[in-house]
Amino acid sequence: MLLRHTKKEVADRKALTINPAKTCQPIGAMYAALGINGCMPHSHGSQGCCAYHRSSLTRHYKEPVMAGSSSFTEGASVFGGQANLVQAINNIFTIYDPEIIAVHSTCLSETIGDDLPQIVANAEVSGKVPKGKKVIYASTPSYVGSHITGFANMVQGIVKGFAQPGIKSNDLINIIPGWVEPSDMAEIKRILSLMKVPSIMFPDTSGVMNAPQTGKHEFYPQGGTTSKDLSRIGSASHTCALGKWASESAATLLSKMAQVPFTICDIPIGLKATDRFLMELAKVSGHEISQELEFERGQVADIITDMHQYLYGKKVALWGDPDQLIPLTEFLVDLDMKPIHIVSGTPGKAFEKRIKEICATKDITPNVKSGAQADMYLMHQWILNEPVDLLIGNTYGKYISRDMDIPFVRHGFPIYDRIGHSYFPTVGYKGSMRLLEMMLSAIMNKMDREAPEERFELVM
């Protein structure tokens, strides 16, 4: 019993987090920066922070992550990191020759008050940024928010660095995909191409964080949104921002800077959220939903019909990021499953409201909490009080799964102990099929494991 010290009685906590259901802001900023072609992320802080950000991403995506660090020592921590960052910008452009450097701050550089816009302007004025190259930046203090906040802040940084008003191109659509797997970004692009919608996705980590093995190391993989495309985002006729928490702020900024109207859509996880996304795409682009997508939708409906008897009434606990948990909860409710415990370390009361509204459609009253005290300890306490049949969330749920013998589907970030998630989508109809298969397999594996010999069936 690895978690034998968890107390069943839930006490209200105000200033203590135990096993957080979130991670550090700069990790999100770094992931967003990796979705730009030829971009070197840079961590303005100590080397230890940068090592943590890189290793977290590498452990999840199983890909090397290149990033610079301002390498703060005691001197920079006391007198400010301007000299370190200006030197770093010069070194990175001279030695590693990226198109763009994406700088994010850290707890330390924020606490001492380093002013990134001023330092970057200083580097530009002093000729440290070669002609045609760019330095973008985002403020990412990790003592507030989460990795999702950091991702959102860097996507805003991308808009700030590239957006310019332009003549609107009729059906060009911007897609801000939110923090999803590279495989999900590829699936969204496949959907767009099936509907023949011209689009710019930013950031786009497909082909970067799930790059093929070619036998040689590519410092800047071929994937990622190009500078050329980023310079056109202000000419799009509309922006579909997937996920309020990860994408709304960038879409809002783009609408202010370049008058591009936007819609906030849920990440298309599950049947209804995918339906809504496709209908929105059809509305704003004027393109029809393709027959291939209708065919895939029918397949999802068929699988749900086949699986319903096994999934019906199963209680589920889930944790992760709000933008993913909302459509995932909706999908579970549609399957007549019962999402009863839900936590997200990313703050936002709107999340709790939305989850309660979704659950209320089937008379479910879930335990739901967001923010710093919405942690894995609380999740375990809730499960001790009301056990569930299935867990869905990141790797940190494996302790609960083992102690309580509950089937576990890994989903979200981070997944450190399984491989393959960055190659197979969970968005769109194809992704719904995969989620359904993963959930039912986890539940049936337990049924097989525990069945007495006389009830161990070949056909289930």
State which residue, 107 or 116, has the beta carbon closest to ligand SF4: 107
52 binds ligand SF4 (CB under 6 A): yes
Cα angle for residues 113, 16, 327 (degrees, 5° grid):
90
Record the tokens describing residue 246, joined without a space: 């990860």
Binding residue for ligand SF4, selected from 70, 84, 142, 205, defined by CB under 6 A = 142
H helices within 210-311, ranges in order?
A: 227-230, 244-258, 271-285, 291-311
State which residue, 24 or 258, has the beta carbon closest to ligand SF4: 24
- Shortest Å, Cβ 52 to ligand SF4: 4
State which residue, 54 or 338, has the beta carbon closest to ligand SF4: 54
State which residue, 52 or 424, has the beta carbon closest to ligand SF4: 52
Report strand pairing: 169-176 vs 315-319. Answer: unpaired
Strand partners, 360: none
Q: Which own/partner contact pairs does 333-336 have at CB distance under 8 Å and 24+ positions apart?
A: 333/358, 333/359, 333/361, 333/362, 333/364, 334/270, 334/271, 334/272, 335/304, 335/307, 335/308, 335/311, 335/436, 336/308, 336/311, 336/312, 336/362
- Shortest Å, Cβ 104 to ligand SF4: 9
Binding residue for ligand SF4, selected from 30, 33, 101, 107, defined by CB under 6 A = 107
State which residue, 107 or 392, has the beta carbon closest to ligand SF4: 107
Q: Using CB under 6 A, which of the segments 44-52, 122-130, 341-349, 441-449 binds ligand SF4?
A: 44-52
Cα angle for residues 154, 250, 264 (degrees, 5° grid):
130
State which residue, 26 or 161, has the beta carbon closest to ligand SF4: 26
What x/- string results for residues 14 through 43 when contact with ligand SF4 is judged by CB under 6 A? Answer: ----------x-x-----------------
State which residue, 140 or 247, has the beta carbon closest to ligand SF4: 140
3-class DSSP state of 232: coil
State which residue, 48 or 166, has the beta carbon closest to ligand SF4: 48
- Shortest Å, Cβ 245 to ligand SF4: 18
69 binds ligand SF4 (CB under 6 A): no
106 binds ligand SF4 (CB under 6 A): yes
- Shortest Å, Cβ 105 to ligand SF4: 8
Binding residue for ligand SF4, selected from 49, 159, 175, 392, defined by CB under 6 A = 49
Q: Using CB under 6 A, which of the segments 45-53, 152-160, 367-375, 403-411 binds ligand SF4?
A: 45-53
- Exposure string over 383-421, b if 16+ CB within 10 A, otherwise e: bbeeebbbbbbbbbbbbbbebbebbbbbbbbbbbeeeeb
H helices within 103-146, ranges in order?
A: 107-111, 116-125
Binding-site residue total for ligand SF4 (CB under 6 A)? 8
Please say whether the beta carbons of 379 and 319 come within 8 A: yes
Question: How far is the CA of 280 from the CAs of 177, 194, 263, 430, in angstroms?
Answer: 14, 15, 8, 19
Interface residues toward ligand SF4, by CB under 6 A: 24, 26, 45, 49, 52, 106-107, 142
